[in-house]
């Protein structure tokens, strides 16, 4: 996640502009299709201006002839020019297909929105009805209609639309339901917005994309069915030209003049293909894959670039001991642009846990991901060293990193479900990982998976192995994710907010589990968290990060009990867990403003704009200096002063006169 905190200018776009534009233009098929359809419509509407013949002009010398100079595409059984007839009638044919689209898509969408909004019972009824509609023999119904009212093409196409709407309903229903379950829909309901308002204002806009895609596809279906009907003799009445009529005419001469079918058929086929191509182009969502992680190819290229940059740095002296992680002067930045993390230095000794704390947007996750070479695309290590087991991971190639990732260094993330593929059972994924990393046989891997699950405290491991991710709870999923991370027997575990999404009761169990794993296996952990309670519970050392820098680091006990940096003071004062019910203040301390965006970092102390103690000395860059308490370090010019005077971060008040003004204005 690239920190994005303050409002940024995003160009405004209407829902319509969002999907059509680039997706259509970037797909060659879709673009060609759109060009063909547009040309066809324009050519057809302007036909009287440029066509060589009128549609009913008869040239008896050319009856049933093939292409010739006079008739480029030949002429039909009455000697009428095919080219002229095809183009003149294009608009009409497309128009009648459009009837199917409009009726089918509109009805299907309305049904889906109604079913999604009106509750289970209505959904049940509508679904039953559409199932019946789908099971009706469409052809028979259409033929019956033709028998009753003749070949009234618009009516037939409309009825076809009704029949097709059932299928569209099915496609739309899931999406409409998921839009209905958004919290903003709940919020609107609480406002008293009626079901119709909800559907129109909050659900329909979200369906636009699907509506457009379905329209393109149904359009093609409509044309095909129209042609099919014509082929079996139920085309439109003869005099007015239409593609259906021409196909009908040609079908009577399949044996004596087979050419007659070719031009109309080809144009029809092209048009159907175009509509399908447009549908496919619009339907492809460009960012459907996980966009937060770069593709291996991009990473490979990037690490090569970064390796070149970092190789210029001074050679590594005094390589740390095995199992020791030493991060030295690490800087991470957008390629060729803003730094996101600057000059981060910390050490993690084997068998210890380091906490990286701070608010979101302070660079914790970027720092953690850089340890695994998993920075998002467009972001890379700009400077510094990540020393692990005698090598500098900052300049390692992607291939080297692939060998380390998952084996020596493993990751668990905040969303355990994200580590698990919903399509496969827990057992399958776990054994696959074990086999990939350890080259074990199938049975061996299975036994290993079972023992891993037991190791992470899962009681009924056998049942869990057979379960799919959605069948297990969040706490269970995090245990499985930890088991997955442990499958490579890592010596360093990078845990990015591993318990944030869990209940406190489950969090406590997971933390106990991690603690015992550290004790038993001697692995070390880098734990990213925003929860100071979690830090107090499990971390031996802590580095407090603010705006891409470490502002204070040292032993957990000395930092939390005796913070030296104003930001740490402030975080503790803002934490309701730091107080019991009796000493709970009326207001918690806050930090005014918010974490600045990387491009807005000042040259001096980055916390200055929010700091209660800021003064003129704070406008020059502040180095990280020993804090005097154990081996701690702090980045604040007033650290000593604050320590001596024992200053506390105060809860700031909102000026109430402002509040009253606004309330009065409201009442007026």
Partner 1 sequence: MSIDTVEREDAEAVLPAPAMLEVKDLVVRYGRGRKAASVPAAVDGVSFTIRPGETVGLVGESGSGKSTIGKAILGLQKVSGGSISFQGSDITHAGSSQRQELGGELRAVFQDPNSSLNPRKTIGVSLAEPLRVRGIPAAEARTRAGDMLERVGLPREAVDRYPSQFSGGQRQRISVARALICEPKLVVCDEAVSALDLSTQAQVLNLLADLRDERGLSYLFIAHDISVVQFLAQRVVVLYRGQVMETGPAAAVTENPKHPFTQALVAASPVPRPAEQAERRRLRESLGVRTAAAVAASAGGCPFSQRCPLATDLCTTERPALRTVGQSDVACHYA
Summarize as ranges the residues that interact with ligand SF4 (CB under 6 A): 566, 605, 607-608, 611, 613-614, 618, 622, 636-638
Distances (CA, A) of 159 to 103, 109, 224, 304, 600: 8, 16, 15, 61, 61
Minimum CB distance to ligand SF4, residue 361 (Å): 17
Position among 451, 473, 516, 620 found at the interface with partner 1 (CB under 8 A): 473
Q: Does the footprint of partner 1 cover residue 650 (CB under 8 A)?
A: no
**Taking the alpha carbons of 589, 591, 592, 594 in that order, is the dihedral positive or negative?**
negative
Minimum CB distance to partner 1, residue 656 (Å): 8
Q: Does the footprint of partner 1 cover residue 496 (CB under 8 A)?
A: no
- Please name every residue paired with 526 in a beta bridge, in sequence order, or none if there are none: 354, 494
Could you tell me the end-to-end alpha-carbon distance of the chain, in angstroms, rounded to an integer? 45
Footprint of partner 1 on residues 107-136 (CB under 8 A)?
A: 119-121
Q: Does the footprint of partner 1 cover residue 353 (CB under 8 A)?
A: no
Q: Does the footprint of partner 1 cover residue 580 (CB under 8 A)?
A: yes
Position among 354, 534, 634, 637 found at the interface with partner 1 (CB under 8 A): 534
Tell me which of partner 1, ligand SF4, none is bound by residue 622, counting a contact when its beta carbon lies within the kind-specific cut-off of 5 to 8 angstroms: ligand SF4
Minimum CB distance to partner 1, residue 361 (Å): 7
Footprint of partner 1 on residues 8-37 (CB under 8 A)?
A: 8-10, 12, 15
Tally DSSP H helices, then E strands, for the chain: 26, 12
| Closest alpha carbon to 534 in 495, 573, 569 | 495
Residues in the chain: 668
Give one DSSP letter per residue of 564-617, joined into a string: -SHHHHHHHHH-GGGS-TTT--SS----SS-PPPGGG--SS-TTGGG-TT--GG
Looking only at the bridges linking them, the beta strands covering 325-334 and 379-388 are: antiparallel
- Please name every residue paired with 546 in a beta bridge, in sequence order, or none if there are none: 549
Minimum CB distance to partner 1, residue 645 (Å): 22
Position among 60, 576, 644, 657 found at the interface with partner 1 (CB under 8 A): 576
Choose between 575 and 640: whose C-beta lies nearer to partner 1: 575
Cβ atoms of 523 and 352 within 8 Å: the answer is: no
Query: What distance in Å separates the CA atoms of residue 230 and residue 249, rounded to the nearest whole number?
Result: 8
Query: What distance in Å separates the CA atoms of residue 532 and residue 616, rounded to the nearest whole number?
Result: 31
Q: Which stretch binds partner 1 (CB under 8 A): 47-55, 244-252, 483-491, 504-512?
A: 504-512
Q: Does the footprint of partner 1 cover residue 504 (CB under 8 A)?
A: yes
Choose between 591 and 622: whose C-beta lies nearer to ligand SF4: 622
Minimum CB distance to ligand SF4, residue 546 (Å): 9
Token output for 405: 């990732």
Phi, psi of 588 (to 5 degrees): -85, 155
Tell me which of partner 1, ligand SF4, none is bound by residue 318, counting a contact when its beta carbon lies within the kind-specific cut-off of 5 to 8 angstroms: none
Footprint of partner 1 on residues 412-441 (CB under 8 A)?
A: none
Q: Does the footprint of partner 1 cover residue 187 (CB under 8 A)?
A: yes
Tell me which of partner 1, ligand SF4, none is bound by residue 222, counting a contact when its beta carbon lies within the kind-specific cut-off of 5 to 8 angstroms: none
Tell me which of partner 1, ligand SF4, none is bound by residue 12, counting a contact when its beta carbon lies within the kind-specific cut-off of 5 to 8 angstroms: partner 1
Cβ atoms of 556 and 535 within 8 Å: the answer is: yes
Choose between 566 and 596: whose C-beta lies nearer to ligand SF4: 566
Tell me which of partner 1, ligand SF4, none is bound by residue 605, counting a contact when its beta carbon lies within the kind-specific cut-off of 5 to 8 angstroms: ligand SF4
Minimum CB distance to ligand SF4, residue 571 (Å): 12
**Taking the alpha carbons of 368, 369, 371, 375 in that order, is the dihedral positive or negative?**
negative
Minimum CB distance to ligand SF4, residue 549 (Å): 11
Position among 81, 359, 383, 496 found at the interface with partner 1 (CB under 8 A): 359
Query: What distance in Å separates the CA atoms of residue 524 and residue 518, rounded to the nearest whole number?
Result: 6
Choose between 456 and 637: whose C-beta lies nearer to ligand SF4: 637
Minimum CB distance to partner 1, residue 515 (Å): 9
Q: Does the footprint of partner 1 cover residue 287 (CB under 8 A)?
A: no
Torsion of CA 80, 81, 82, 83, to 10 degrees: -160
Q: What is the DSSP code (8-state) at residue 201?
A: I
Position among 589, 611, 614, 634 found at the interface with partner 1 (CB under 8 A): 589
Position among 50, 60, 192, 288 found at the interface with partner 1 (CB under 8 A): 192
Q: Residue 457: helix, strand or coil by DSSP?
A: coil
Position among 257, 456, 572, 622 found at the interface with partner 1 (CB under 8 A): 572
Phi, psi of 56 (to 5 degrees): -100, 5
Residue 644, number of CB atoms within 10 A of its CB: 9
| Total of chain residues touching partner 1, rule CB under 8 A | 94
Phi, psi of 234 (to 5 degrees): -115, 45
Cβ atoms of 528 and 354 within 8 Å: the answer is: no
Token output for 619: 């406008």
Cβ atoms of 189 and 149 within 8 Å: the answer is: no
Token output for 23: 């997706």
Position among 193, 298, 349, 609 found at the interface with partner 1 (CB under 8 A): 193
Minimum CB distance to ligand SF4, residue 618 (Å): 3
Q: Residue 249: helix, strand or coil by DSSP?
A: helix
């Amino acid at each position: 996640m690239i920190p994005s905190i303050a409002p940024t200018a995003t160009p405004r776009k209407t829902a319509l502009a969002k999907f059509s534009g680039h997706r259509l233009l970037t797909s060659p098929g879709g673009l060609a299709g759109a060009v063909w359809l547009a040309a066809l419509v324009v050519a057809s509407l302007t036909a009287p201006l440029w066509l060589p013949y009128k549609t009913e002009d008869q040239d008896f010398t050319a009856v049933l002839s093939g292409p010739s100079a006079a008739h480029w595409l030949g002429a039909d059984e009455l000697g009428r020019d095919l080219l002229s007839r095809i183009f003149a009638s294009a608009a009409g044919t497309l128009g009648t297909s459009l009837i199917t689209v409009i009726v089918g898509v509109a009805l299907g969408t309305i049904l889906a929105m109604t079913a999604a909004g009106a509750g289970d019972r209505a959904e049940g009824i509508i679904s039953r009805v559409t199932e019946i509609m789908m099971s009706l023999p469409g052809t028979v119904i259409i033929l019956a209609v033709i028998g009753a009212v003749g070949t009234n093409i618009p009516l037939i196409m409309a009825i076809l639309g009704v029949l097709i709407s059932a299928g569209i309903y099915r496609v739309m229903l899931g999406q409409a339901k998921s839009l209905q379950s958004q919290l903003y829909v709940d919020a609107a309901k609480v406002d008293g917005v009626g079901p119709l308002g909800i559907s129109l204002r909050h659900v329909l806009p979200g369906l636009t994309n699907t509506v457009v895609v379905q329209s393109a596809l149904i359009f093609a279906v409509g044309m095909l069915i129209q042609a099919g009907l014509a082929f079996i003799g139920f085309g439109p009445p003869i005099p007015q030209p239409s593609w259906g009529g021409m196909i009908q005419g040609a079908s009577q001469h399949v044996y004596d003049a087979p050419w007659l079918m070719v031009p109309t058929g080809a144009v029809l086929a092209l048009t159907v293909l175009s509509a399908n191509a447009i549908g496919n182009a619009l339907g492809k969502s460009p960012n459907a894959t996980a966009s937060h992680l770069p593709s291996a190819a991009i990473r490979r290229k990037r690490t090569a670039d970064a390796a070149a940059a970092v190789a210029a740095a001074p050679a590594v002296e005094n390589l740390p001991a095995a199992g020791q992680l030493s991060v030295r002067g690490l800087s991470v930045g957008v390629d060729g642009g803003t730094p996101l993390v600057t000059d981060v230095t910390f050490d993690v000794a084997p068998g210890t846990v380091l906490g990286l704390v701070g608010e979101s947007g302070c660079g914790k996750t970027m720092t953690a991901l850089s340890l695994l070479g998993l920075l998002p695309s467009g972001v890379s290590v700009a400077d510094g060293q990540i020393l692990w087991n005698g090598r500098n991971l900052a300049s390692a190639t992607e291939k080297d990193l692939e060998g380390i990732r998952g084996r020596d260094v493993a990751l668990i993330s905040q969303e355990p479900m994200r580590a698990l593929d919903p399509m496969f059972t827990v057992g399958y994924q776990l054994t696959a990982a074990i086999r990939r990393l350890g080259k074990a046989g199938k049975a061996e891997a299975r036994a290993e998976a079972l023992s891993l699950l037991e190791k992470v405290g899962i009681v009924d491991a056998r049942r869990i192995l057979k379960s799919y991710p959605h069948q297990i709870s969040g706490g269970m999923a995090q245990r499985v994710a930890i088991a997955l991370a442990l499958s490579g027997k890592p010596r360093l575990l990078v845990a990015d907010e591993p318990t944030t999404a869990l209940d406190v009761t489950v969090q406590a169990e997971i933390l106990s589990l991690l603690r015992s794993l550290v004790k038993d296996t001697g692995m070390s952990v880098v734990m990213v968290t925003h929860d100071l309670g979690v830090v107090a519970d499990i971390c031996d050392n802590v580095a407090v990060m603010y705006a891409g820098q470490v502002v204070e680091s040292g032993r957990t006990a000395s930092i939390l009990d005796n913070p030296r940096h104003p930001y740490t003071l402030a975080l503790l004062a803002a934490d309701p867990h730091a107080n019991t019910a009796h000493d709970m203040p009326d207001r918690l301390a806050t930090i005014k403003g918010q974490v600045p965006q990387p491009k807005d970092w000042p040259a001096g102390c980055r916390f200055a704009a929010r700091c209660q103690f800021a003064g003129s000395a704070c406008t020059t860059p502040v180095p990280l200096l020993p804090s005097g308490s154990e081996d701690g370090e702090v980045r604040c010019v007033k650290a000593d002063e604050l320590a001596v005077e024992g200053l506390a971060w105060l809860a700031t008040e909102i000026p109430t006169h402002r509040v009253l003004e606004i309330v009065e204005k409201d009442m007026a």
